[in-house]
Amino acid sequence: MDTLIRSPPPQQPPPVHRPNDHSISSPDRTNEAASGGEVLLLHQPQKSSPNKRYLIVLAINYIFLFVGSVASSLLVKFYFNHKGSSRWVSTWIQCAGFPILLFPIFLPYLLRFTQRKPFSHLTPKLCLLSVIIGLFLGLNNLLFSWGTSYLPVSTSSLLLSTQLAFTLILSAAIVKQKITFMNLNCVILLTVSSILLALCESHDRPEGLTRGKYFAGYCCTIGAGLLFALYLPVMEKVYRDVYCYEMVMEMQLLMEMAATVLATIGMAVDGGLSEMKRESTSRFDLGPSWYCLTLLFNIVSWQMCFMGTAGMVFLTTSLTGGVCMTALMAMNVLGGVFVYKDNFGGEKAVSTVLCGWGFCSYVYGMYDKMKRDEEKVEISHGMEMTQIVMDNR
């Protein structure tokens, strides 16, 4: 994997680019951080080979996010559908796969793609921030587990789509994201989508589930979306002190370890590993083998999801990462309908359309902004060339 380089903090000297360091610069853009004054390195023209490698790594991260998001949503529901009952186990499997992150951390160094030693530039400040954020991530995992255990996959997926609205508001407050008409339109549509979904809850509540538990799941899912929306712009701000992709994975490793510790403590209070063993033998109706496979696939899919999310935020922005996750909500809804035969009545169909409408409005706004930025760059280059010609006369 190539090393993705950001400019280091102003107080640090720039990293040395050695001949065998395959650096990847972002495509040409002047996306300067509002408060930090830091920009992505723009050494190469847009059609150069390094930018092609950047796009490849960006695509790989989105594939991880796509597969991990859809698979984890369905697998968590599979766990609860087959009499899995421990929400702490469901929380634990969302972060227990952190050893998988050792591969993207150490492979580039072992394969001589970079001379940077793993963890060599991870400061105590970044380590402390990673641990604190990891604990909040563990709380977010717990809220997600509670919400998923009570709600159909399609309902929880649509509720989680409101995290884009939260992300926009928090990005404006934390990283000074500009709010445009397209952004506001997206927020309004997603909010209306969530309210419409809540109003039709009496038709969608599973049999045997009380009204109180349904609304507990509803509130937990909204809370999980809010915490994750806070996580995205906070990480964008923290990543301003990070200049390569491997450092992102190193911080992600520390976050997942902290979240795993929190979940393990919860499991210990709730019965620990003995509870997991009893659940696999006497509660899970498919038997111990399927129980272990379910947990294993859950662990892998969740790590793919978190790796993809972290990579998207680092390579783009927190808002773009939130938009990409919202784009996957429709796939989660369809997955719940086709795999688990979730109810998909008229209200939920309208809610899905509103969700898609909000997402499309954001995408169009991004496309329009990109075209205007390109025109400004062309005009600027034209003026520079004219000035050069005038000076040479």
Q: What is the pLDDT along the chain (393 residues), one digit of tens a residue?
A: 444 444 444 444 444 333 344 434 344 333 433 333 333 333 333 333 446 777 788 889 989 998 998 888 888 788 878 888 777 888 888 899 999 999 989 988 888 877 888 888 888 999 999 999 999 999 998 998 888 778 776 677 677 767 777 888 888 888 887 777 777 777 778 777 766 765 655 455 556 667 778 888 888 888 888 888 899 999 999 998 888 888 999 999 999 999 999 998 888 887 767 778 888 888 888 888 999 999 999 999 999 999 999 998 998 888 878 877 777 766 777 777 788 777 777 777 887 788 778 778 777 777 777 777 777 777 777 676 776 767 666
Rounded-to-integer distance, Cα 85 and Cα 267, Å: 12
d(CA 112, CA 363): 38
CB 205 within 8 A of CB 147: no
Task: For residue 40, give the DSSP letter.
Answer: B
Distances (CA, A) of 52 to 269, 313, 348, 390: 49, 19, 40, 36
In angstroms and rounded to an integer, the radius of gyration of the C-alpha atoms of the chain is: 23
- What values do phi and psi take at 14, rounded to 5? -65, 150
- Cβ burial, residue 290 (10 Å; 0-12/13-18/19+): middle
pLDDT for res 127: 93
User: Smallest Cα–Cα separation from 62: which of 367, 358, 316, 363?
Assistant: 316
Give the whole-angstrom CA distance, residue 330 versus residue 355.
Answer: 8
Question: Which pLDDT value is given to residue 69?
Answer: 86
Residue-level pLDDT at 303:
93
Residue 101 to residue 304: CA distance in whole angstroms = 9
DSSP H/E element including 24: strand 23-24
Question: What's residue 115's pLDDT?
Answer: 82
Find how far residue 58's CA is from the centre of its chain. Answer: 13
Count, residues in the chain: 393
Comparing CA positions, the residue from 208, 223, 255 lying closest to residue 147 is 223
Q: What pLDDT does 174 receive?
A: 86
Are 235 and 229 contacting, i.e. CB atoms less than 8 angstroms apart?
no
